[in-house]
Amino acid sequence: MSDFEKELEAMSTQTEGEPEVSLPSIEEQREIAQKLKQLEAEGKLTPEILEQYFGKFSEKNAAPLH
């Protein structure tokens, strides 16, 4: 087994037991993007607001998948 395959296997075992979070629909994604662009234009886009939208997709162990 190559090092790459070992790393993939290790990553998959780290995420076992974590519930899978479904992605928003395309329409919901468009609405989110529009809202974030509006907040950015108004200068009101903060890390806290980004966390509200994207925090649920952040892994707790923070292992990069790429």
Per residue in 9-55, pLDDT (tens digit) is: 887 777 666 677 788 899 999 999 999 999 999 999 999 999 898 88
Which of residues 42 and 6 earns the better pLDDT score?
A: 42
- Residue 11: phi and psi, rounded to 5, are -65, -40
> How far is the C-alpha of 58 from the C-alpha of 66, rounded, in Å?
14
Q: Using an 8 Å Cβ cutoff, are 64 and 28 in contact?
A: no
pLDDT at 65 > cutoff 70: no
Name the more confident of 18 and 64.
18
The per-residue pLDDT for 15 is 64
Instruction: Determine contact, residues 52/44, Cβ cutoff 8 Å.
Output: no
Cα–Cα distance measured from residue 25 to residue 30, given in angstroms and rounded to the nearest whole number: 9
Residue type, 36: L
Q: Does 66 have pLDDT greater than 50?
A: no
